[in-house]
Amino acid sequence: MSDNFSGNQYTEVTRTGYFSRLGGSIIAMMVGFVLIPGSIVLLYWNEGRAVTAYQALSQGASSVVEAQPASVDAALNGKLVHLSGKLATEKPARDPIFGVSGDGLLRLKRSVEMYQWKESKHEHTTQSVGGSKETETTYWYERVWSETPIESSGFHELMGHRNPGFPIKSQSFNTDAAKLGAYNVDAAVLNGLSPTTTIPVNHVTPPSGYQVEGDEFYRGHAPSQPEIGDIRVEFTGLPSETVSFVAANSAGTLTPFHGVHGYTIALAKPGIVPAAELFAEKQHEENIWTWILRGIGFVLMLIAFLLIASPMTTLFAVLPFLEGIASAGAFIIALALSVPITLLTIAVAWIAHRPLLGILLIAGAIGSVALLRTLHRKPAFRVISA
């Protein structure tokens, strides 16, 4: 191993022998055997989650009751209700540390960023005849503003790149007295609305060590020339406005509604929005998550099969071009296995949760395979004699 360090960039060159690579591929194979059942469990669970969400939202959309915000209707107690109106409070949300608040403020979000070191890296690999591999890894370090703490203890080159701990974290604050007409609004329902309005801080005396810089508090020597560890804090809020909710009426308080299999329904959006639109948007959001998790499950399974095949591809590493051919073949085989197993897992999950659709899905898949075989079958030619 050799290395070279210059300024905020560090280059390391490592050489791995053929037998070391082979041993590493065997460990990778064992990881692959663990990933396969993990990906299957994820895919199966995701389909169950999707079915539960669909059933709960469909049932909720068909049973939701319109409520009038002017007065609490005792007959609607415990029911899923939809109502729109002016959301307000007499006890605005407030940050207890910085003292930031505002008239009628329903929610307040404190966003804290620190100037920190960030490590990035790039690898370039060269394989040699005989199966050895040389990897050149370049690490570089840049200063960035980040709301997320960047742990520097794992940096390759820690010297001169240490990040201090966050002295204060981002946090959200809600009013505890939000009301829509005669209805109180629970915090769990209020959280469905996002603070988006910038709250100025120039009317607030900054805490010790901070100064006002535009719409932010700043802790550091010079905002125009930040140093590692400098802090900037900004605030966004949700003022009183007209909103629409779908939630449970719990004795005059809007709380999350627990539908099929405990699925929670607490829908909120600014403006006067029909219940059907709120349910449609939530279903669209659930569909997006379903496809994202399907993709993650499929990719995990594909990676698993590639890891399982890695000892075989490494055996051909004595000649780099042979390893390339073996790797391409392994990818095709992994793809050929991952696609049907993913589809089969999804189909089995649908059979378990919605039998008719699951059976139709499998029947459709079998029919598609049969159709493809028919289309690709060579036509038979007969010789007709005169």
**DSSP string of 318-347?**
GSHHHHHHHHHHHHHHHHHHHHHHHHHHHH
Mean pLDDT for the stretch of residues 38-53: 94
pLDDT tens column, 297-308: 999 999 999 999
Range 177-192 average pLDDT: 96
Q: Do the beta carbons of residue 89 and residue 178 sit within 8 Å?
A: yes
Q: Return the percentage of the chain with pLDDT > 70, whole number.
A: 89
Map tokens 């990818």 to a residue. Answer: 331
Residue 339 makes CB contacts below 8 A (sequence gap 6+) with 298
Alpha helix (H) ranges present in the chain?
18-63, 187-190, 275-315, 320-353, 355-376
Average pLDDT, the chain: 88
Q: Which pTM was predicted?
A: 0.81
- Confidence class for position 38, pLDDT limits 50, 70, 90: very high
Of all residues in the chain, the percent with pLDDT exceeding 90 is 66
Higher-confidence residue of 213 and 347: namely 213
Residue with tokens 């709120």: 278
More confident call, 219 vs 134: 219
The predicted structure's pLDDT at residue 349: 85
For 84-106, what is the mean pLDDT?
Answer: 95
pLDDT in tens, 244-298: 999 999 999 999 999 888 999 999 999 999 999 999 999 999 999 999 999 999 9
pLDDT > 70? residue 55: yes
Q: Tell me what percent of the chain is helix, strand and coil, each rounded to the nearest 5.
A: 40, 25, 30
Report the residue count for the chain: 386
Give the pLDDT band of residue 384 (cuts 50, 70, 90).
very low
- Domain layout of the chain by residue ranges: 13-52+289-376
In this predicted structure, the answer to whether residue 346 has a pLDDT above a threshold of 70 is yes
Per-residue pLDDT at 326: 85
pLDDT at 22: 84
